[in-house]
């Protein structure tokens, strides 16, 4: 199966399935001598792991990371880094009744059509369980970015019809984990949490939006024309399970505006070129301009719901199905560290590419 690797110079390959013995990632291209903060990597995994709050799936995985290679005495060695996360609480029997059925809006039908075989236990490779490996690798990328002053933050800005459209300050961004739903505003977070709990009680699910901000950005990251920075960010985000939309800066709102309202005027500040607005989202011509990277990522509702649905089985017969198993009623609170990880992987890769582009 192709498509399991991501990045060029900072390159990752993930492996494993939702109900297999383990999942993991091999990171190739991480520079030698980087401080390997295993506690930070574990913290990021803890933010993504299932069973962490009343808003998530009841699957209980500790997601303890094991380091198999690539470090010595607390530093990276420049060799491939292998990280392993064992599956402890898979209940494959929950999926026995679905072995012959294609679940609506899942990858069951497409995987079987493409490969002639599928793992029906939780979706196998198509499960969001795979994203734990990305979070582990992305945490290492965040450590690399921190060494040059770049920080990546994500937060929930919408759940269903509940929105929070304010721009958080740095203090708010650093405290998003104070709210279970990971929205910086307590009032908006309470409304979002109520919406998720109501959806769960109804046996339904909700989607939402995660906003991303990367601060301390250098000028010059991005490789036109096909590897534009925003193009790679879009690919990264759209590779996440349930993501159906991506916008950077003003995004789709720019299509309804005039150029006079959207152009970001330049000015000088302390000898540095700045822009008075950031409708471009920190990228112009596919290259970072030094302003914050600002993106929004839309997640569809979780496909598995506790309501009877119409489908077909592998023989083409119409069936009424009721999904079993343990699933999030809304994925966005747990997806925050996944979004941060994928952004960090893109930025770390382009940082190394920029370093290699000049003497």
**pLDDT reading at 82 higher than 90:** yes
| Cβ atoms 91, 50 nearer than 8 A | no
State the pLDDT at residue 55: 80
pTM > 0.85: yes
pLDDT 10s digits, 97-131: 778 899 889 899 999 999 999 888 877 888 899 99
How far is residue 78 CA from its own chain's centroid? 25
User: What pLDDT does 223 receive?
Assistant: 96
pLDDT band for position 92 (50/70/90)?
A: low
- 178 CB-contact burial (10 Å; exposed 0-12 / middle 13-18 / buried 19+): exposed
Rounded Cα–Cα distance for residues 211 and 342 (Å): 13
* Rg of the chain in Å (alpha carbons): 21
Site of tokens 């530093």: 75
In order of start, what are the domains of the chain with their CATH numbers? 5-355 (3.60.150.10)
List the one residue out of 1, 8, 5 whose CA is nearest residue 226: 8
The whole-number average pLDDT for the span 52-65 is: 78
pLDDT at 97: 72
- pLDDT of 285 above 80: yes
Work out the pLDDT band at 1, boundaries 50, 70, 90.
low
Instruction: Look at residue 51 and tell me whether its pLDDT is greater than 90.
Output: no
pLDDT at 58: 66
Tokens of 181: 């739903």
Q: What digits encode the pLDDT tens for the residues 168-206?
A: 999 999 999 999 999 999 999 999 999 999 999 999 999
Within the chain, how many helices (H) and strands (E) appear?
Answer: 8, 18
Mean pLDDT on 67-96: 89
> Quick one: pLDDT at residue 100?
86
Q: What are the beta bridge partners of residue 211? A: 155, 296
CA distance 357 to 359: 7
Mean pLDDT score, 69-87: 97
Lowest mean pLDDT among 118-132, 235-249, 294-308: 118-132
Q: What would the DSSP string read from start to end of 97-150?
A: GGTTB--TTSSHHHHHHHHS----STTGGGSGGGHHHHHHHHHHHHHHHHTTT-
For 12-40, how does the pLDDT look when each residue is reduced to its tens digit (9 = 90+)? 999 999 888 999 999 999 999 999 999 99
Cβ pair 47, 337 in contact under 8 A: yes
What local confidence, expressed as pLDDT, does residue 89 receive? 67
Spatial strand order in the sheet of 65-69: 5-6, 11-16, 22-28, 81-86, 65-69
Asked if residue 250 has pLDDT above 90, the reply is yes
Range with the poorest average pLDDT among 246-250, 301-305, 336-340, 354-358? 354-358
């Amino acid at each position: 199966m192709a498509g399991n690797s991501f990045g060029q110079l900072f390159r990752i390959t993930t492996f494993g399935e939702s109900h297999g013995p383990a999942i993991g990632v091999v990171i190739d291209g991480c520079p030698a001598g980087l401080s390997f903060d295993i506690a930070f990597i574990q913290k990021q995994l803890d933010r993504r792991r299932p069973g962490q709050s009343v808003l998530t799936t009841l699957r209980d995985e500790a997601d303890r990371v094991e380091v198999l290679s690539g470090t010595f005495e607390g530093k990276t060695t420049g060799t491939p880094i292998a990280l392993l996360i064992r599956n402890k609480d898979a209940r494959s029997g929950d999926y026995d009744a679905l072995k012959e059925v294609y679940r609506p809006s899942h990858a069951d039908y497409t995987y079987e059509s493409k490969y002639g075989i599928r793992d029906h236990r939780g979706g196998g490779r198509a499960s969001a369980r795979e994203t734990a490996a990305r979070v582990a690798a992305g945490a290492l990328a965040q450590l690399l970015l921190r060494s040059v002053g770049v920080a990546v933050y994500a937060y929930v800005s919408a759940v269903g019809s509940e929105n929070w459209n304010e721009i958080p300050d740095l203090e708010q961004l650093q405290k998003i984990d104070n709210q279970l739903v990971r929205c910086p505003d307590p009032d908006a977070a309470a409304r979002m949490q109520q919406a998720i709990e109501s959806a769960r009680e109804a046996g339904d699910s909700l989607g939402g939006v995660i906003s991303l901000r990367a601060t301390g950005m250098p000028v010059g990251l991005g490789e036109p024309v096909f590897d534009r920075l925003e193009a790679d960010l879009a690919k990264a985000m759209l590779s996440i399970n349930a993501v159906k939309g991506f916008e950077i800066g003003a995004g789709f709102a720019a299509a309804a505006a005039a150029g006079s309202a959207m152009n970001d005027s330049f000015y000088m500040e302390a000898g540095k070129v700045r822009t008075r607005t950031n409708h471009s989202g920190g990228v112009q011509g596919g290259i970072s301009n030094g302003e914050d990277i600002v993106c929004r990522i839309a997640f569809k509702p979780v496909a598995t719901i506790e309501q009877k649905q119409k489908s077909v089985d592998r023989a083409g017969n119409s069936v009424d199905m009721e999904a079993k198993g343990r699933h999030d009623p809304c994925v966005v609170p747990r997806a925050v560290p996944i979004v941060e990880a994928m952004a960090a992987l893109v930025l770390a890769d382009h940082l190394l590419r920029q370093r290699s582009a000049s003497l």
